[in-house]
Amino acid sequence: MANLLDGKALAQKIRIQLQQEIQSLQAQAGRPPGLGVLMVGENPASSVYVRNKERACEQVGIASFGKHFPTNITQAELTEVIHSLNQNSEVDGILLQLPLPPHLNAIPLLYEISPDKDVDGLHPVNMGRLVRGEAGLRSCTPAGVMQLLREYEIEVTGKDVVVVGASILVGKPMALMLLEAESTVSITHIKTKDLAKLTCEAEILVVAAGYPKLITASHVKPGAVVVDVGINRLTDYEGRKRIVGDVDFEGVEPLVDYISPVPGGVGPMTVAMLLQNTLWSYKQRVGKNLE
């Protein structure tokens, strides 16, 4: 039976550490860290994510500067909101919840967020810092995967690692972080000719494709470590909704050494990394006051 990579438990542990650190820093800095989560419209999945993020902020003592806008907000108005949060000295992190309604163009908006407050790590400056191996704000989901592997003392250096999925949000930064840790990384995507041939070679397999049961028992090397990033919402015959990953958990779990569950694996780590990024950004900003 595989060991579970319990992201829920680790995220809770990180939150307690962050809460204690924030408490002591706040006394010296005179203000708490601040995070502005911007949401537009009524996407039900986004509403759940935003609520989780704001609740997590409250739990650790990060002040929320979030705003929820009606669907008809214009590109110019949203740009103006981002500019005002960039200027606000009590705000350390800004996150634009995606997807946006179709009349809004996300890319130019993401570029407007100051790279120093880009706690999602998606700004080209932060992506560039990652490529160059420089310190900076790192994309939350892959950073969460790296921390989960570290927690379970899973060595990545020198390992053969396969990342399934090549998005800018997960797959690409994931591959770069693994490369930085000196893994031998292969990255696969929808056009990959023989996915199983590659994944069967992986000592560590990270899956972020958005396709339920993409990875089955015939895709894994016995004894591998499998990290399932996928979040897929399914409705069964009786109308019950449930969340599954990209890995056929029942089929794969008996074969591997470690596997992350969905839910309770990478998802909670993403939120924990958002809080950690906000604290990192805050420390850069108030650092001078603490010396």
User: Is position 97 annotated as part of the catalytic site?
Assistant: yes
Residue 208 is labelled as binding a ligand: no
Q: How many Å apart are CA 110 and CA 9, to the nearest integer?
A: 31
Residue 64 is labelled as binding a ligand: no
Alpha-carbon dihedral of residues 243, 58, 93, 146, nearest 10 degrees? -50
Of the listed pieces 111-119, 209-217, 219-227, 282-290, which binds ligand NAD according to CB under 6 A? Answer: 209-217
Best CA proximity match to 117, nearest among 217, 223, 34, 16: 34
User: Is position 120 annotated as part of the catalytic site?
Assistant: yes
Least Å distance, CB 4 to ligand NAD, is 15
Of the listed pieces 19-27, 52-60, 118-126, 184-192, which binds ligand NAD according to CB under 6 A? Answer: 184-192
Catalytic entry in 6, 116, 118, 120: 120
Residue 190 is labelled as binding a ligand: yes
Least Å distance, CB 148 to ligand NAD, is 11
Catalytic entry in 6, 92, 97, 117: 97
Least Å distance, CB 187 to ligand NAD, is 9
Q: Is 172 left (phi over 0), alpha (psi -120 to 50) or beta?
A: alpha
Output the residue with the shortest Cβ distance to ligand NAD.
Answer: 167
Is the separation of the CB atoms in 139 and 122 below 8 Å?
yes
Least Å distance, CB 90 to ligand NAD, is 27
Number of residues that bind ligand NAD (CB under 6 A): 25
Angle at 268 between CA 267 and CA 274, to 5 degrees: 100
Complex with ligand NAD: residue 124 or 210, whichever CB lies closer: 210
- Which listed residue (33, 173, 230, 261) binds ligand NAD by CB under 6 A? 230
The position carrying tokens 């979040």 is 231
Least Å distance, CB 288 to ligand NAD, is 33
Residue 165 is labelled as binding a ligand: yes
Residues in contact with ligand NAD, shown as a per-residue x/- string from 135 to 174 under the rule CB under 6 A: ------x----------------------xxxx-xxx---
Complex with ligand NAD: residue 8 or 189, whichever CB lies closer: 189
Burial class (CB in 10 A: 0-12, 13-18, 19+), 254: exposed
48 scored as a contact of ligand NAD (CB under 6 A)? no
Best CA proximity match to 177, nearest among 144, 142, 202: 142
Residue 166 is labelled as binding a ligand: yes
Q: Which residues are catalytic?
A: 53, 97, 120
Interface residues with ligand NAD (CB under 6 A) are 141, 164-167, 169-171, 188-190, 192, 195, 208-211, 214, 229-232, 266-267, 270
Residue numbers in the known binding site are: 165-167, 190, 231
